[in-house]
Amino acid sequence: MGTEFDLILKKYKQGKREDLIPMLQEIQEQLGYLSEEAIVNVGSYLGLSTTKIYGLATFYDRFRFIPSGRIHISVCNGTSCYINGSQSVINKISEEINVQPGLTTRDGNFSCEIVSCMGGCHNGPVINVNGEYHTFVKASQLPELIKKLMYIIEND
């Protein structure tokens, strides 16, 4: 683990606070989330207090402190998707996978997040499941979709 951080950290100049966010982004890309170890490492590399790093990271929505699920669902809640019914899609997903947006299920299978406008407004509500878009989503289709995804996880 140590070397993994080192490789990322080495790309940046020591002590340069402007690089903090890119560093965290890169670590998150590799690790899937920001672990405490990562925050401590970045802190000592940049000479920043971990409080400040944690304070910064929690300000922004994109940083996670728990790994995302094997299946990660982003749901668009932009205006267009909203007026086409994204709220019920969000509710249904939370209900089906049994976890609030922004969190990961205890078994690590699912996580879900809300984003604003994915850029496919005409096809809304839009959701994205592990990189794959689903368009014109209706709440009623979700139980089946989740069942299918469960099946994929179980047979993986």
Partner 1 sequence: MLFTIQVNNKKIKAEKGETILSALNRNGIIIPTLCRMKDFTPTGACRMCVVEVEGRDRLVTACSQPVEEWMKIRTHSPRVIQARKTIVELLLSNHPDDCLYCERNLNCELQNLSEELNIRERRIRGKKIKPRLDQSSPAITRELSKCILCGRCVRVCEEVVTANTLDFIKRGRNTHIGASMDRDFNFSSCVHCGQCLIVCPTGALHEKHSITEIQEYLNKPEILKVIQYSPLVTAGIAGELGIKHNKYADRILNAILRKIGFDKVFTTGTGTDVCITEISGQLLEKLEKRTASPLYISACPAWVKYCEQFMPSQIPMLSTVKSPQQITGALIKTIVADQNKVNPANIFSVSATPCLAMKFEARRDGMMRKGISDVDSVLTVRELSRLIRLYGIAPSIIEPEAADEPLAGRSSSAVLAEVSGGLTEGILRALHYKLLTKEADKQLFRKLRSSGSFREISMAIGEYEVKAAVVDGLTGLGKLKTSINSGKSYDLIEVMVCPGGCVHGAGLPFSSARADVRSRAKLVYQTDDSEPVNLPCKSHHLINLYDKLLKENSEISDKKIFYTHFEKRNVLL
Partner 2 sequence: MQELKTFLINKVLLFESDTLLPETEKILQKIRREKPGNPVIYLSSGTSSIIAGSEKTSSAIKAHISENGLAADFIEVGCTGPSNFEPLVCVHLPGKNKLFFRNITEEKVEPLLNGVFHNDLSEEDLAGQTGTRGFEVWPGIPFMDELPFFANQKRVVLSNCGCYDPESIEEYIARGGYRSYVKAIRHYTFEEVCDIVERSGLRGRSGGGYLTGLKWKHALNTSASSRYLICNAKESDPGAFTDRTILESDPHRLIEGIAIASYAIGASSAIVFMRSGSDHAKNRLQNAVEQARQYGIFGHNIFSSGYNLDIVIRIEPGAFVCGEETALINTLEGKRGMPRLKPPYPTSSGLLGKPTVINNVETLMNVPVIMHNGPEWFRTLGTENSPGTKVFAIAGKGRMSGVVEVEMGTSVRKVLEDIADGIREGREFKAIQLGGSSGSFITSENLDVKIDYESLRERGIGMGAGGFVVIDENTCMVDLVRYYMEFIRNESCGKCIPCREGTGRMLEILESVIRKPMNEESGTTLERFKGVMQLETIASVMKDASLCGLGQNAPNPFISALSNFRDEFEEHIFDRKCQANICRGLRSFSIDVEKCTGCTACEAKCPVNAIYGTRLQPFFIVEDKCIGCGVCFDICKFSAINVK
Q: Which is nearer to partner 1, 49 or 98 (CB)?
A: 49
Note whether 73 and 86 are within 8 A (CB): no
By CB under 6 A, tell whether 8 contacts ligand FES. Answer: no
Shortest spacing between CB 141 and partner 2, in angstroms = 15
Six-digit token string for 35: 């672990």
Q: Which is nearer to partner 1, 37 or 107 (CB)?
A: 37
Query: Cα 19 to the chain's mean position, in Å?
Result: 21
Q: Which is nearer to partner 1, 2 or 59 (CB)?
A: 59
Shortest spacing between CB 118 and partner 1, in angstroms = 22
What residues numbered 88-127 form the site for ligand FES, per CB under 6 A?
117-121, 124, 126
Q: Which is nearer to partner 1, 33 or 54 (CB)?
A: 54
Task: Give the residues lining the site for partner 1 (CB under 8 A).
Answer: 36, 39-40, 43-44, 49-52, 54-56, 58-60
In this chain, which of 14, 51, 58, 79 binds ligand FES, going by CB under 6 A? 79
By CB under 6 A, tell whether 76 contacts ligand FES. Answer: yes
Q: Which residues bind ligand FES (CB under 6 A)?
A: 76, 78-81, 117-121, 124, 126
